[in-house]
Amino acid sequence: MKTLVCKEPRHFEYTTGEKPGVTKGHAIIKIKRIGICGTDLHAFEGTQPFFEYPRILGHELAGELIEFDDAPGFEVGEAVTFIPYFNCGKCIACRSGKPNCCSKISVSGVHCDGGMVEFLSVPSYSLVHGQGLSFDELALVEPLAIGAHGIRRAGVQPGEYLLVIGAGPIGLGTMEFARIAGANVIAMDINDRRLEFCKYRLKIEHTVNALAPDVTKQLMEITNGDMPTVVIDATGNLKAINNAFQYMAHGARYVLIGLQKGEIAFSHPEFHKREATLMSSRNATRQDFEHVIASMKKKEVNPLTYITDRVLFDEVKDEFEQWLDPANGVIKAMVTVG
Same domain for 8 and 126? yes
The SS3 assignment for 235 reads coil
> Alpha-carbon torsion 16, 316, 296, 168, what sign?
positive
Predicted model pTM:
0.95
Whether 106 maps to a domain, the answer reads yes
pLDDT at 61 over 90: yes
Per-residue DSSP letter, 313: G
Same domain for 125 and 62? yes
Percent of the chain with pLDDT over 90: 94
Whether 294 maps to a domain, the answer reads no
Max intra-chain CA distance, the chain? 62
Q: How confident is the model at residue 46 (pLDDT cuts 50, 70, 90)?
A: confident
Closest among 313, 305, 311, 315 to 333, alpha carbons compared:
311
Same domain for 122 and 160? no
Whether 184 maps to a domain, the answer reads yes
Whether 292 maps to a domain, the answer reads no
Distance of alpha carbon 35 from alpha carbon 49, whole angstroms: 20
The answer to whether 259 and 283 are in contact (CB under 8 A) is no
Same domain for 116 and 91? yes
Can you give the pLDDT at residue 38? 87
* Structural domains in the chain (count): 2
Q: How many CB atoms lie within 10 A of CB 243?
A: 16
CATH value at residue 168: 3.40.50.720
pLDDT at 82 over 80: yes
Same domain for 53 and 28? yes
Can you give the pLDDT at residue 216? 97
CATH value at residue 321: 3.90.180.10
Can you give the pLDDT at residue 48? 78
Same domain for 315 and 248? no
pLDDT at 49 over 90: no
Distance of alpha carbon 236 from alpha carbon 261, whole angstroms: 9
Can you give the pLDDT at residue 337? 97
pLDDT at 78 over 90: yes
Same domain for 42 and 97? yes
The answer to whether 146 and 289 are in contact (CB under 8 A) is no
Can you give the pLDDT at residue 200? 94
Whether 290 maps to a domain, the answer reads no
Same domain for 263 and 189? yes
The answer to whether 333 and 319 are in contact (CB under 8 A) is yes
Domain that includes residue 39, residue range: 2-139+302-336
Phi, psi values for residue 167, rounded to 5°:
-105, 35
Q: How confident is the model at residue 326 (pLDDT cuts 50, 70, 90)?
A: confident
Can you give the pLDDT at residue 62? 98
Whether 64 maps to a domain, the answer reads yes
- Contacts of residue 72, defined as CB under 8 A and 6 or more positions apart, other chains included, come to none
Can you give the pLDDT at residue 262? 86
Same domain for 56 and 40? yes
Whether 289 maps to a domain, the answer reads no
> Alpha-carbon torsion 111, 144, 99, 66, what sign?
negative
Q: What is the pLDDT of residues 155-189, one digit of tens each?
A: 999 999 999 999 999 999 999 999 999 999 999 99
Same domain for 135 and 6? yes
Can you give the pLDDT at residue 327? 86
Closest among 170, 205, 193, 194 to 281, alpha carbons compared:
170
pLDDT at 281 over 80: yes
Distances, alpha carbon 168 to alpha carbons 72, 265, 324, in Å? 37, 24, 12
Distance of alpha carbon 208 from alpha carbon 215, whole angstroms: 7
Q: What is the pLDDT of residues 174-233, one digit of tens each?
A: 999 999 999 999 999 999 999 999 999 999 999 999 999 999 999 999 999 999 999 999
Q: Among 36-50, 162-176, 261-275, 292-306, whose mean pLDDT is lowest?
A: 36-50
Whether 159 maps to a domain, the answer reads yes
pLDDT at 270 over 90: yes
Same domain for 172 and 114? no
The answer to whether 33 and 61 are in contact (CB under 8 A) is yes
Same domain for 178 and 262? yes
Percent of the chain with pLDDT over 70: 100
